[in-house]
Amino acid sequence: MRRVDARGAGYLLAAIGFVVAWGILCWPWLSGAVTIPFDAKAHFQAQVQFLANAIHTGQSPFWNHHVFAGSPQIADPQSLIFSPAILLALISPEPSFREVDAYVLAHLLAGGLALLMFFRDRGWHPAGGLMAALVFAFGASAAWRVQHVGQIASYAFFAIAFWLTARMLQRSSILSGVFAGLAAGMMVLEPDQVALLAGYVLVAMVVAHWISGGWPAFKASLLPITAASVVGVAVIAMPLIWTWLFAEATTRPEIDFGIAARGSLHPMSLLSAFVGDLYGAKDPAVEFWGPYGDARVLYLSQNMAQVYFGALPLLLLLAPGLTRGWLWDRSVRPLTLMLVFMVLFALGRYTPLFHLTYEYLPGVKQFRRPADATFLIGGIAAILSGYVLHRILTAEAGTSFRRDMLIGAALVLGTIVFALAVSRGWGHLADAWKPVAMALGWFALAGGAFFVLQRWRGALGTAAAAALVTGVVAADLGVNNGPNESTALSPQMYDVLDSRTKNDTIALLKQLTSQPDGSPRRDRVELLGMGFEWPNAGMVHGFDHTLGYNPLRLEDFSEAVGTGDGIAKPADRKFTPLFPSYRCRLANLLGLRYIASPVPIEQVDRALGGSDLTLIARTKQGYVYENPRALPRVQFVGGWQFADFESMKLSGHWPETDPTQAVLLDVEPPVPTPEGPVATQAEIKLTRYRNAQVEIEVTTPVAGFVVLNDIWHPWWKAEVDGVEAEILRANVLFRAVQVPAGTHKVRFSFQPLWGALAELRARIEPQEPDDMLPPAPRHDEPQIVTAPGEMPKLAGPSESVRNSLGLGTAQGPAARNGTAAAHIPGDAVAH
């Protein structure tokens, strides 16, 4: 009992030490002096703010109309809807930079504590668990890529799932299995490559347990694993279905091997495990000179190639971890194999392994950077180095480590000499000498700590060992992996994403886009290359941007309008055949009324005439232009015309129709109506516009179409006066609902559960063509159809339909006399 109490006290002490170290190392962010930059602000800060605003205004966060003319937020794997961020959004209606940063860093705290619990369950030394927690939280990509919020979350939940899975297998505990399934489900709930690779580590754990324990282990673990699987599947089923269906409709449902291979970790990047800032990634006075100069071969940001996880942990892995074969101990052998796998996977194109996994390992094709495995390299190295420290501190009295220390020193010195040779060969010896000298100092300190730990391991108490490990490892990682230009910048740089900003361009756009209740207008803006942090600003400030910042975008919209992941620079604006200039029909249909640009817009769009756009303001950030031809968000259009939208996107050619008199459809409307423009005066009001609900009132003397210039998506439903109505794809991208003459209420509602299940059912059980249709008439025997009270007339497509399909001019009396053709179902026209 005294031993148990001592062990519990030791782990309590280790946990306190880790929490204190976490607080000190994270203080620059927690204090608000710096903020996590890049994606953490430009993308995820906006996502959290959108989520908080939706909750606190009583709206659904499932549809986002602020970017890309609308996007299914519930299906976006980076939306944070299904993450613990929901708690932050519930607490704070306007989450600050500091609050979001604390939320991100708390993941690393939780993951480190989970590893401490893993060590405690194993009965390993608390100092080993403490070092594992520190390396996990502040080593390699955990420190250098903290701005990738989704991957940090997956990484943290991996540690929790890893601990609970090990407990489940160790104790054959169904309850632990339930919690392990929950943690693993949270890990993959918003999927990324870190979650994928971490999932394979968990699978490897189970398989290794079965192999080592045989049939008894398999039998004892069956019920707990079943419980874990049921809970995990229950957690992830619908979110993954939504994400899969969304990804299938985006610009990148699958990543080409060549593109993925560009995200490989160069073999020379592994030198950063020995020399933390060898290539100048941290020093602002040194221009980064790492092996990523040719973007056609490799394309990684400088922070993505950093794998430093501390001098002492690395030294212990080399000696005595390798020299004594402790990394091949039965209890950690699977982790050693997985560490080797992760290193080879991260190297991507430089080994055959990645190509094999790309072709045969499920899920790999969906992600673009094998270098994402650096997260798992740091995490697994943390556990293994902690285990080696445990073996040192619990070794038998009299065990000598002199030989191991000498071998370890030789390996380190040899690698550092090689790093100097590489820097000299690349012409950067002057840049490399300082980080190399610092690395030698840290390895000398690590060697001293190793000597003390192994020499007086019997005399050192748990508190002394924990204090020594905390001091050396935390100081090392704080200096070499601490705040830098990749992970910590001034909050003022992202002021445009602060809901309380005084930015004059944002204030002007909010003022210009505000409309009185009932107005059919809801004008869109375009932030044309205003900076990396600008594209998602509309999600924070409540206006609608034609573009945005997101790697996942609906393909239809992207092909028509021209989008990239973001639009940080004016040169990022890519025009398309259907959107060749800001003076075009698609810009007007989008309701793109205001364009903010840091440069005169004629420098970007050289097709513009002098009077096409009106300069209405000059702000500190640039120019604001107005497109006076932008159409309202909702319109009533009396007529319709058939169009081939795919051909239009390729050619850029619009039919010669007035969009206020005829809407373009790719199928015939539900109620047969002759084609052609119809001029009419109708009263239309946009009475309610919410994230997932739009209500419109229309009074019209003739039948026609209510057109909503938001992107068409199959998960939306419409009702006219409470009766379900078909949503037609209109004008290539938008939505239309057919209504009769009179006063009507049209309601659009986003229903992702119903919509996704219906879409999934259609994919699994596609409708067979109707074989009961009558045979097509012979050319020499035209079919005559009649309706009660009507004269016989020829059946066939209208002239505009025939022309669009290349069928030539209609023949026969009806065509010659200008008689309207009889209605043919849309399926017949399509064939």
Mean pLDDT, rounded, of the chain: 91
Alpha-carbon distance of 761 to 286, in angstroms, equals 56
- Residue 767 is predicted with a pLDDT of 65
- Sorting pLDDT into bands at 50, 70 and 90, what band is 458? confident
Residue 225 has pLDDT above 50, yes or no: yes
pLDDT for the residue 7: 66
Between 28-32, 189-193, 346-350, 736-740, the lowest mean confidence (pLDDT) is in: 189-193
Q: In whole angstroms, give the CA distance from residue 181 to residue 195.
A: 14
pLDDT at 765: 81
**Across 143-149, average pLDDT:** 96
* pLDDT (0 to 100) of residue 461: 81
Q: What CA–CA distance (Å, rounded) separates 805 from 797?
A: 10
Q: Which residue has the higher pLDDT, 496 or 295?
A: 496
CA-to-CA distance for 627 and 595, rounded, in angstroms?
A: 8
Nearest by Cα to 113 from 179, 188, 172, 164: 164
Mean pLDDT is lowest, of 431-435, 581-585, 702-706, 784-788, for 784-788
pLDDT single digits (tens) 816-826: 333 333 332 33
Per-residue pLDDT tens over the stretch 468-518: 999 999 999 999 999 999 999 999 999 999 999 999 999 999 999 999 999
pLDDT > 70 fraction of the chain, expressed in percent and rounded: 91
Residue with tokens 């060549």: 258
What distance in Å separates the CA atoms of residue 831 and residue 816, rounded to the nearest whole number?
A: 24
- How big is the CA angle at 499 (ends 498 and 502), to the nearest 5 degrees? 75
Please, what sign has the CA dihedral across residues 664, 670, 676, 677?
Answer: negative
**181 to 75, 115, 171, 218, 335: CA distances (angstroms):** 22, 17, 15, 18, 20
Banded pLDDT at 37 (limits 50, 70, 90) = very high
pLDDT for residue 768: 59
**Residue 801: its pLDDT value, please?**
37
pLDDT band at 774; cut points 50, 70, 90: very low
What per-residue confidence (pLDDT) applies to 819?
Answer: 33
**Hey, what are 379's tokens?**
């995490």
Residues contacting residue 71 through CB under 8 Å, at least 6 positions apart: 63, 64, 548, 550, 553, 554, 711
Q: Which residue has the higher pLDDT, 693 or 771?
A: 693
Q: What is the model's pTM? A: 0.90
Q: Is the pLDDT of residue 3 over 60?
A: no
Instruction: Provide mean pLDDT across the span 331-349.
Output: 97
Copy the structure tokens of residue 233.
Answer: 């599947």
pLDDT of residue 255: 87
Query: Each residue of 539-550: pLDDT tens digit?
Result: 999 999 999 999
